Amino acid sequence: MNEVTALQKNITDQVSKRVKELESNGLALPPKYNAQNALKSAFFAISKVKNKDKEPAIKACSKESIANCLLDMVTQGLSPAKTQCYFIAYGNELQMQRSYFGTVAVLKRLKEVKDIYAEVIHQDDIFEIDSDDLGRIIVKSFIPKFENMDKPLVGAFAVVQKLSDEKVYTIMTKKEIDKSWSKTKAYKNTVQQDFSQEMAKRTVINRAAKMFVNTSDDSDLMVDAISRTTSNEYEDDERKDVTPKVEKTKKLAERFSKPEKKEPAQLAMEKAKQSEKAPEQPKNVIIEHEDEEMERHEPEQHSIFEAVNAK
């Protein structure tokens, strides 16, 4: 058994074991989804991936990042053999990203979603929008024309059809799409330019999916994997608390300085004993203590996949 084969068996065994644990805790994989076949396809795909230094990802990337990618893939029920996902090496870290087909397949697994699809709008296509009774944007008319298919893209829209048959629209102009593309790690590879139609559909579907994913009552394991895979392709996509500490302190001060509502009798009693009242504790002492407590109890962001660390 060579080194690569041994590594594949080691990581695959660990991922398979973790998947079984997650299934016992409520994770539901798609019907007829064969996780073992998907893992084999994934390793075949990873074996062809190289980082920017032309080093094979299977050797250059950490075992932990490979295992996390594979677990994210299985959790979402994706398969590289169906071109639903692909792998990219950033230095010594491997990341998985969904294709357009993968995003559609994953979102259809959400309980509220009956169907989801996207269309691109070319120059000179007929495209009109309106609003419904609640003021939400809807597509009033879309008439694409064959002779416009080679013309420049001017936008794209996605439609999420709920089980109730209600349709939720998301519309993006080409300027908005370009701005989204400019923040992706793969932008310099010009994949968006070479496959602009499919990438535009994928971009608008990812935006449409955010509300459904973040408000879904589906398995937190799957929702977490969906969100993490989406954020993999963007630079600086981590959610951080950017509130300055001075502002936090100010907010805490306002919280502690709110006047307490007291009964008239209580106010009279306090007024009579005002001369005997003990000096108040400095507010800054309370603020500092409270701020330390908040930081101490602030939940840390841990991956659910920390249990799958390759040894």
Of residues 235 and 146, more confidently modeled: 146
Q: Please state the domain count of the chain.
A: 3
My answer on whether 148 and 213 are in the same domain is yes
My answer on whether 93 and 115 are in the same domain is no
Q: How many helices (H) and strands (E) does the chain have?
A: 12, 7
Q: How far apart are CA 14 and CA 64, in angstroms?
A: 11
My answer on whether 201 and 277 are in the same domain is no
| pLDDT for residue 23 | 82
DSSP 258: S
DSSP 131: E
Q: Mean pLDDT over all residues of the chain? A: 76
Task: Supply 176's token pair.
Answer: 């908005």
Q: Is residue 224 part of a domain?
A: no
Q: How far apart are CA 14 and CA 307, in angstroms?
A: 9
Q: How far apart are CA 262 and CA 101, in angstroms?
A: 62
Q: Is residue 69 part of a domain?
A: yes
Q: How far apart are CA 67 and CA 76, in angstroms?
A: 14
**Range with the lowest mean pLDDT among 117-121, 197-201, 216-220?**
216-220
Enclosing H/E stretch for 116: strand 113-122
Whether the CB-CB separation of 86 and 97 falls below 8 Å is answered with yes
Q: Where are the alpha helices (DSSP H) in the chain?
A: 3-24, 35-46, 57-60, 63-75, 100-107, 174-182, 191-194, 196-214, 220-231, 245-256, 264-272, 283-297
Residue 215: strand, helix, or coil: coil
Task: Supply 1's token pair.
Answer: 């058994």
My answer on whether 128 and 86 are in the same domain is no
Confidence category of residue 276, pLDDT binned at 50, 70, 90: low
- Taking only the tens place, the pLDDT of each residue in 152-171 is 999 999 999 998 999 999 99
- Taking only the tens place, the pLDDT of each residue in 16-64 is 888 888 888 777 888 889 998 999 999 999 989 998 888 889 889 999 9
Q: How far apart are CA 297 and CA 292, in angstroms?
A: 9
Task: Supply 240's token pair.
Answer: 């951080």
| pLDDT for residue 278 | 47
pLDDT at 271 over 90: no
Whether the CB-CB separation of 66 and 105 falls below 8 Å is answered with no
194 contact partners, CB below 8 Å, separation of at least 6: none
Residue recorded with tokens 């932008």: 187
Query: Residue range 93-103: average pLDDT?
Result: 89
Q: How far apart are CA 252 and CA 192, in angstroms?
A: 46
My answer on whether 65 and 117 are in the same domain is no
| pLDDT for residue 249 | 38
| pLDDT for residue 265 | 59
- Taking only the tens place, the pLDDT of each residue in 208-233 is 887 777 776 656 677 788 888 877 66
Domain containing residue 79: 3-99
168 phi, psi to nearest 5 deg: -110, 125
My answer on whether 115 and 194 are in the same domain is yes
Whether the CB-CB separation of 11 and 310 falls below 8 Å is answered with yes
Query: Residue range 107-118: average pLDDT?
Result: 88
Please state whether the predicted TM-score (pTM) of the whole model is above 0.85: no
In single-letter form, the type of residue at position 54 comes to K
Distance of CA 85 to the CA centre of its chain: 15
My answer on whether 146 and 180 are in the same domain is yes
Q: Which of 84, 62, 58 is nearest to 72 (CA)?
A: 84
My answer on whether 179 and 251 are in the same domain is no
Q: How far apart are CA 241 and CA 294, in angstroms?
A: 13
Q: Is residue 104 part of a domain?
A: no
My answer on whether 52 and 30 are in the same domain is yes
Of residues 196 and 122, more confidently modeled: 122
| pLDDT for residue 260 | 46
- Taking only the tens place, the pLDDT of each residue in 279-295 is 544 444 333 333 333 33
Q: Is residue 308 part of a domain?
A: no
Q: Residue 116: how many CB atoms within 10 A of its CB?
A: 22
Hey, which bits of 33-98 come out as E strands? Answer: 85-90, 93-98
Of residues 290 and 95, more confidently modeled: 95
My answer on whether 53 and 94 are in the same domain is yes
My answer on whether 158 and 209 are in the same domain is yes
Q: Is residue 35 part of a domain?
A: yes
